[in-house]
Amino acid sequence: MSMKQVHVGIVGFGTVGRATADIIAKHGDLISQRSGVRLAVAAVCRRSSIEPGDTPTGARVYSDWKQLLQDPNVDVVVETMGGTGDSLQLVRGALEQGKPVVTANKNLLAGHGDELFSLAMSRKLPIGFEASVAGGIPILRVIHESTAGDRLQSVHGILNGTANYILTQMENRGIEFAEALAEAQKAGFAEADPSFDIDGQDARDKLCILARMAFEGALDVGRIPTYGIRHVRAIDIHSATRLDSTIRLVGSAEQTDTGVEVSVRPWLVNRRSMLAKVEGVNNAVFLVGDKIGTQMFYGRGAGGDATGSAVVSDLIEISRDFAAGQLHAKNIPGFLSSHQLELSETPRPVSWYLRLTVQDQRGIVARVAEVIAREAINIDSLEQEPHLPKDRVSFVITVEAVSEPVIRRAVNVINEFGFMVEPVLLLRIED
Amino acid sequence: MSMKQVHVGIVGFGTVGRATADIIAKHGDLISQRSGVRLAVAAVCRRSSIEPGDTPTGARVYSDWKQLLQDPNVDVVVETMGGTGDSLQLVRGALEQGKPVVTANKNLLAGHGDELFSLAMSRKLPIGFEASVAGGIPILRVIHESTAGDRLQSVHGILNGTANYILTQMENRGIEFAEALAEAQKAGFAEADPSFDIDGQDARDKLCILARMAFEGALDVGRIPTYGIRHVRAIDIHSATRLDSTIRLVGSAEQTDTGVEVSVRPWLVNRRSMLAKVEGVNNAVFLVGDKIGTQMFYGRGAGGDATGSAVVSDLIEISRDFAAGQLHAKNIPGFLSSHQLELSETPRPVSWYLRLTVQDQRGIVARVAEVIAREAINIDSLEQEPHLPKDRVSFVITVEAVSEPVIRRAVNVINEFGFMVEPVLLLRIED
């Protein structure tokens, strides 16, 4: 029996693209045994020049993705370029030519998923996108297939490995954010321009995809309130420790009676919480459903091997159908239904952590406490670190559960005080 | 457009069977929207009488599974009877009649999976069996689909919720095993005859299925060394705490250079370990792969809702294919290839915890230490609890990494000493 070969074209030959080619080369026999198809990398494309030794055996090398798209020998297109410029044109072009696509590009799908999944549906073609969220953790497949009989209430988790690595380093070594970031950059865990990771946009794009999958409706990624970890300081980690807690950047989407509550922000999480156990560049995603209860999925959230594995598992599924002449689009209601997810205007009350940095003068605590009391918020704890320079004193307040608009009103008033050196750092406290 | 109805017959209308019917009733519209098929429970069967109010609307009720099997209106058979007597005949009979099967029965598949998957393959029929391992955690789907491009090195985890509930209770409340068991029985988390759960057979059956799936070869379930938690005492939990650890019943299968190492046994796990965070009736499964790295999947391991959700997700997948006239068998190499997994004769060295209970007399420590030294085993720590009655003194030894046959030789010699009140309790220490 001759085995059907499926020819893969990889556009964007960086970490993930290379790892994908490498897995196909190294595990090719295994994949054939399991799936009955043989994957072959027929072409790769990268703007910068590729060393000949780096090229998969037998693959043509293009420097322009448009050429790869025209290559009649490419059966399936893998997009690992990132961004939303060329990648959008590439995915659109591939689908228009009748070629299935596998993409690792969360930014593209969060921004243009509606268009691309509609196009795929009209062409009866699949888009594999497991690699776009949480690297090697098969969370999209789980939501789509394993919870098909359940109604999900929430999805939340640690979705950005760079931010988590920085927070873990700050915690383990007592260093400041800037130092931890510089080290993450040196270790290759953060980009030269790290803003996408540390300011939360990367987590936001992933959360957008997760929320659409979980709650089966459209969600404009720009409407997700997003806060990063840039303003978290060593003193916050220190205060967290005193509160038997640590800090994690969490993306969270929750279905409530008043609509979907969705945000990316740093949380204060208890040491005993599963979220606190997620260290370094790892990711973890929690699903809560009516029937399944709470599930957690943990693993490497980034890196070539993990993300490449997700690309390859999608490639295998698509190639099997391709070889059998049974390519088809999947029904992904979160990107295909006209239903819009409604965001809650009155989020449910949660507890908060506020860190204030002030020029010390008499009466500060009284004035801050008065603002908080005026909003009928109860203070749970208050601590001022001793021995700090007078022109930069930090103190930390935790408050009992109130809705976000209420605490924001208080924070906005506090931020206007002349003694404030910088804005309040506000952390949500995990339930 | 008229929606295709798929008629489900549920045999074994206990916790899981009822939950399955309940989910189909409550989430029927949701399932139809997502999958394009409508599930209907056409028949249920239970030996003991079913209250009329308990029966799904419109379902026929049988007291003999053979009658349900003959019912021409049943399209898919769900087996939740348990055991390997009638259930084997039922699943065999259903496949022979051309009906796909969904089963939650680990015992059946661990013992007769080869026969049943072969039969299913020859009839081109699927067997859904996600519910057989770790309740609602979709671990089998993950292994089969998401790691299809990777080579797995190990699979291990907490596979029995009852045993984990008992260990957690012993730990949190300082109570003895017997008391924790009695409470688990009262709370409905342990059967009247709890031996299947507490002696490790339930975990062993699940591990057998996991190991076959992960390493793609046959494994005789009877060859898996299996130890339960019946002999774990409050003093062991106490000693574990002193060692900054706790105790968990772990099923583990690992691919090594010398073959597969497989066992179910209690482990001493560090408090900071993810395994230690798994409390109560929850399960957790860890996968380690060449490319994916370490992944963990956590959730409810038992209970009607979680297990019923897994049954329903399989039902949805099968029903979609059924409605499209595209039923097919899946290639599950672990149950279909002639390749036998080879068990390692020389397991890799690990550290061990030994608890001895003795009638106190002079020279015991010296004699025990001599036996250990004779096997060239290094003692890592030794502690005797103070203030114990002279006729029942416990002491705990931890030793550095040695292969299991070596520590077993020492333990066998120690067990022969006249001062031993009961056999040594041996725990593997997590790496």
| Whether the Cβ atoms of residue A27 and residue B152 lie closer than 8 Å to each other | no
Interface size A-B, in CB pairs within 8 Å, comes to 164
**pTM of the entire predicted model:** 0.95
CB-CB neighbors (< 8 A) of B215 in chain A: none
Q: Which CATH number fits domain B350-429: 3.30.70.260, 3.40.50.1000, 2.60.40.10, 3.40.50.720?
A: 3.30.70.260
CB-CB neighbors (< 8 A) of B29 in chain A: none
pLDDT tens sequence across A83-101: 999 999 999 999 999 999 9
| Whether the Cβ atoms of residue A294 and residue A286 lie closer than 8 Å to each other | yes
- The fold for domain B148-299 equals Dihydrodipicolinate Reductase; domain 2 (3.30.360)
pLDDT tens sequence across A204-241: 999 999 999 999 999 999 999 999 999 999 999 999 99
Tell the burial category of B72 from Cβ atoms under 10 Å away from its Cβ (0-12, 13-18, 19+): exposed
* Domain layout of chain B by residue ranges: 4-136+304-336, 148-299, 350-429
Structure token pair of residue A419 = 């003694």
User: Does pLDDT of A253 surpass 70?
Assistant: yes
pLDDT tens sequence across B73-104: 999 999 999 999 999 999 999 999 999 999 99
pLDDT tens sequence across A301-314: 888 999 999 999 99
With CB atoms and an 8 Å threshold, state whether A148 touches B34. yes
- Nearest CA to CA, how far is A424 from chain B (Å)? 32
Name the pLDDT band for A390 (thresholds 50, 70, 90). confident
Q: Which three-class secondary structure state does DSSP give residue A155?
A: strand
- Nearest CA to CA, how far is B67 from chain A (Å)? 28
| Whether the Cβ atoms of residue A203 and residue A251 lie closer than 8 Å to each other | yes
Check residue A301 and give its pLDDT: 87
With CB atoms and an 8 Å threshold, state whether B149 touches A316. yes
Average pLDDT, chain B: 94
Average pLDDT, chain A: 95
CB-CB neighbors (< 8 A) of B171 in chain A: none
User: Does pLDDT of A384 surpass 90?
Assistant: no
**DSSP secondary-structure letter at A337?**
S
- Token look-up 């690792």 returns A104
Structure token pair of residue A143 = 């939501």
Structure token pair of residue A252 = 């969270």
Give the mean pLDDT of A147-153: 95
Half-sphere exposure of A264 (CA within 13 A, CB side): 27
Check residue A52 and give its pLDDT: 66
* Low pLDDT (below 70) residues in chain B: 1-2, 50, 52
Looking at the partner chain, which of B31, B294, B333 has a beta carbon nearest the beta carbon of A148? B31
| Whether the Cβ atoms of residue A167 and residue A282 lie closer than 8 Å to each other | no
B26, B66, B186, B206: the active-site residue: B206
Beta strands at B350-358 and B76-79: parallel, antiparallel or unpaired: unpaired
**Residue A390 and residue A357: Cα distance in Å, rounded?**
10
- Nearest CA to CA, how far is B296 from chain A (Å)? 5
Q: Best of B296, B327, B338 to disrupt the A interface by mutation (most A CBs within 10 Å)? A: B296
Task: Tell me the DSSP string of A175-217.
Answer: --HHHHHHHHHHTTSS-SS-HHHHTSHHHHHHHHHHHHHHHTS
Helix (H) or strand (E) holding B319: helix B304-323
CATH class of A148-300: alpha beta
Check residue B384 and give its pLDDT: 85
With CB atoms and an 8 Å threshold, state whether B299 touches A296. yes
**A4-136+304-336: CATH number:** 3.40.50.720
With CB atoms and an 8 Å threshold, state whether B295 touches A297. yes
Looking at the partner chain, which of A149, A297, A305 has a beta carbon nearest the beta carbon of B312? A149
CB-CB neighbors (< 8 A) of B147 in chain A: 309, 313
CB-CB neighbors (< 8 A) of B24 in chain A: 149
pLDDT tens sequence across A341-380: 999 999 999 999 999 999 988 899 999 999 999 999 999 9
Which residue is closest to A138 within chain B, CA to CA?
B146
- Nearest CA to CA, how far is B72 from chain A (Å)? 25
Check residue A136 and give its pLDDT: 87
pLDDT tens sequence across B206-224: 999 999 999 999 999 999 9
Which residue is closest to B296 within chain A, CA to CA?
A298
Check residue A361 and give its pLDDT: 84
Which residue is closest to A277 within chain B, CA to CA?
B274
Q: Name which of A141, A133, A73 is nearest A103 in CA terms.
A: A133
CB-CB neighbors (< 8 A) of A292 in chain B: 136, 299-300, 305-306, 309
Q: What is the ipTM of this complex?
A: 0.93
Structure token pair of residue B10 = 């549920």
With CB atoms and an 8 Å threshold, state whether B27 touches A150. yes
Looking at the partner chain, which of B35, B136, B294 has a beta carbon nearest the beta carbon of A299? B294
User: Does pLDDT of A1 surpass 60?
Assistant: no
With CB atoms and an 8 Å threshold, state whether A289 touches B298. no
pLDDT tens sequence across B16-60: 999 999 999 999 999 999 999 999 999 999 877 767 677 888 899
Tell me the catalytic residues of A. 206
Give the mean pLDDT of A128-137: 95
With CB atoms and an 8 Å threshold, state whether B138 touches A148. no
* Residue A51 neighbours by CB under 8 Å, 6+ apart: none
